[in-house]
Amino acid sequence: MTSIPITPPYPAAASPRRRGWFAQLGVDTAYVVVGFPLAVISFAVGVSLICAGAGLLAAFLVGIPVFVLALLVARGLAEVERSRIVPVLRRPRVPVVYRRSAPGSGWLRRLFSPLAEGQYWLDTVYGLLRFPVTFGTFSVVVTWWASALGGLSYGLWDWSLPRDANPEPGVIVVNNRGLPDVLGIANTTTNRILIYTAIGIVFTVTLPFVVRACALIDAWLAHGLLNGVAGLRHQVADLARSRDVATARTAAAVSAEANALRRLERDLHDGPQQRLVRLAMDLGRARVQLGSDPDAAARTVDEAITQTREALDELRTLSRGIAPPILTDRGLAAASAALAARSTVAVRVELAQLPRLPALTEQTAYFTIAEALTNVAKHSGATSASVSASLDGDRLIVDIADDGRGGAHLAKGHGLAGLADRLQGVGGQLWVSSPPGGPTSIRAEVPAVPAASVQEGEAG
């Protein structure tokens, strides 16, 4: 089974799902708490290597590799951080590409190449900067957790605090004043428990917000320095890609249009024009014959009448090829049924439930069905075929299948290639599955933004 998408699909990157506040609190806490030791390592290693590198810079060839080592370490830690911020920021990881030296370049060039890549330096800056920032956020998070847990559970361990006026030998109570004393309240067990529990509640309630804020500060610093440039590059690449798609689309539309016009011109030339010239010729002969041989003139005029009828038939067929009246009047379902009725192969049509769609959608779908059924009749050797169409959101999916011998393909110069161009021109796609021996199935996806409900009333 070969499926040939005409436009490559661009899957949207999966976005991490939202989690509950409690789970998020866990994620954020872990992020900040683990972040601090990482920051310490990052800062310590970074500063040592950079200082060593700077010190050895005098001995050129020794200092540079040390710098490079600093950059590589920074990159390693940065990669860890890029993964860690994903659950915090709840956005997919940005793929960051580090420029490499060209393949086959010498070891010296390979060694120096990180020095020329800005992202390495940003990673290093982050490695140094994260330490003071994380230091602050880590302290706040630990304080909040400690105050919340300690306050809430104070009633359980109040008894364990030394409060004796006469402490055991070796224990020195310097100033055993509690918070109640400061607030001017009697320093009783009940009051202490009440006050500390209240404080614990306050910290507990604010805990998720404070921890989230700290985690966001850390994560945004990392995101900004580590992903910012890459993000911009991706945006530029995305824009370029969508422009390329648009260009390809236009080109396909133009070529489909040009082909259609050429074919129309040929059809006009080979059909009605010839008939009309012949008609004129016959009438001219008839006029000459009138004087000498009225019987011959009558025969010639009869022929002329036949030519006229045939010219009309041909014009009708042609206009059906340009914009079939039944499609405009009754919509895709009726027009497809008409196509099926004209086909030499038995065709089952299933698209009764379709609403009226925009003209371009209906036309594209109609020509897809017409071309496919023509192929079925001409090439497939099939005894039966089926046509179905359904709306999937704002796309119209059209399926045409037959029980023939297969072997249809999208090679240039075949009707299917023109069809693919036509579909690409309107932003759709065509798939053909036609293994040798059959069966053949063709699927077309046509963009369809259903026009407002007015259409329903008009359809009758």
Stretch near other proteins under the rule CB under 8 A, chosen from 138-146, 183-191, 212-220, 272-280:
272-280
Q: How far is the CB of 313 from other proteins (least distance, A)?
A: 14
Measured between alpha carbons, how far is 198 from 202 in angstroms, rounded to an integer?
A: 6
Asked if residue 270 binds other proteins (CB under 8 A), the reply is yes
Stretch near other proteins under the rule CB under 8 A, chosen from 153-161, 278-286, 378-386, 421-429:
278-286
Asked if residue 266 binds other proteins (CB under 8 A), the reply is yes
Three-state secondary-structure class, residue 122: helix
Q: Which two tokens stand for residue 211?
A: 């921890």
Q: How far is the CB of 312 from other proteins (least distance, A)?
A: 15
Asked if residue 133 binds other proteins (CB under 8 A), the reply is no
Q: How far is the CB of 360 from other proteins (least distance, A)?
A: 31
Asked if residue 264 binds other proteins (CB under 8 A), the reply is no
Please, how many CA atoms are within 13 Å of residue 10, restricted to the half-sphere of its CB?
Answer: 6
Among 287, 309, 342, 378, binds other proteins (CB under 8 A): 287
Asked if residue 288 binds other proteins (CB under 8 A), the reply is yes
Asked if residue 192 binds other proteins (CB under 8 A), the reply is no
Nearer Cβ to other proteins, position 75 or 275? 275
Nearer Cβ to other proteins, position 317 or 383? 317
Among 278, 299, 320, 330, binds other proteins (CB under 8 A): 278
The answer to whether 217 and 206 are in contact (CB under 8 A) is no
Among 283, 290, 315, 337, binds other proteins (CB under 8 A): 283
Q: If you search the block for the tokens 């866990």, which residue do you land on?
A: 26
* HEC profile of 305-340: HHHHHHHHHHHHHHHHHHCCHHHHHHCHHHHHHHHH
Asked if residue 305 binds other proteins (CB under 8 A), the reply is no
Asked if residue 257 binds other proteins (CB under 8 A), the reply is no
Strands, sheet with 429-433, edge to edge from the N-terminal-most edge strand = 346-350, 384-392, 395-402, 440-447, 429-433
Burial class, 6, CB count within 10 angstroms (exposed 0-12 / middle 13-18 / buried 19+): buried
Among 7, 113, 191, 273, binds other proteins (CB under 8 A): 273
Residue 50 CB neighbour total at 10 angstroms: 19
Determine the size of the site formed for other proteins (CB under 8 A).
17
Please, how many CA atoms are within 13 Å of residue 161, restricted to the half-sphere of its CB?
Answer: 13
Stretch near other proteins under the rule CB under 8 A, chosen from 15-23, 241-249, 274-282, 354-362:
274-282
Q: Which two tokens stand for residue 65?
A: 């590799």
Q: Which two tokens stand for residue 361?
A: 């959608």
Stretch near other proteins under the rule CB under 8 A, chosen from 29-37, 168-176, 269-277, 393-401:
269-277
Asked if residue 269 binds other proteins (CB under 8 A), the reply is yes
Nearer Cβ to other proteins, position 198 or 281? 281
Nearer Cβ to other proteins, position 7 or 274? 274
Among 281, 305, 323, 346, binds other proteins (CB under 8 A): 281
Measured between alpha carbons, how far is 184 from 435 in angstroms, rounded to an integer?
A: 91
Asked if residue 263 binds other proteins (CB under 8 A), the reply is no
Nearer Cβ to other proteins, position 173 or 288? 288
Q: Which residues bind other proteins (CB under 8 A)?
A: 266, 269-270, 273-275, 277-278, 280-285, 287-289
